[in-house]
Structure 1
Amino acid sequence: MESSKVVHVHFKKPYEGMTDLYFGSLKAIYLQVPEDIIGIKYKSLTNAIRGKDCYENKRCIIRIGALQRMSNIKNKDKQ
């Protein structure tokens, strides 16, 4: 199994009708959601979450986890 980072943003009040969004990085959040909706600047968030897997403020909860997926390994005997 392979894993890659996934960032889950849960809004305490819906943003454009959504309460949960998923991203591949912290920076990607700010490409889609305005900073004032997140409630923290990107650089401050990177400092606040360093060494942790969760950050929470009055507007949202941000969790970092691993997305598990199957390896893409081909069997050499079946070529």
Structure 2
Amino acid sequence: MITQQSAAWPVIRYSAGRREIEQPDQLAAEEPLAIRVEGHSVAVVMRTPGYDRELAAGFLLTENLIRAREDIFDIAQCGAEQGHVVNVT
């Protein structure tokens, strides 16, 4: 599931210490993602929304919690009512 990855936000631009203009700018979205292994919390990471399953798999690999993709049976995205959570089995 990919959600909005950026949003327009008002930004005040300064030049030589003086306020020049206020205008919208695109800023990257950032949200927490809880990574669980067989229901047990492993980490909460901040990320730009989207590609949560791939992020969880890469995180587990770099933290030596898995050694190969064959160590993963499934990566489930939990429902919105539970927040931003993936469960790896």
Fold shared, TM-score > 0.5 on shorter chain:
no
Return the TM-score normalized by structure 1: 0.34
The structure having more radius of gyration, on CA atoms, is: 2
Q: Which has the higher helix share?
A: 1
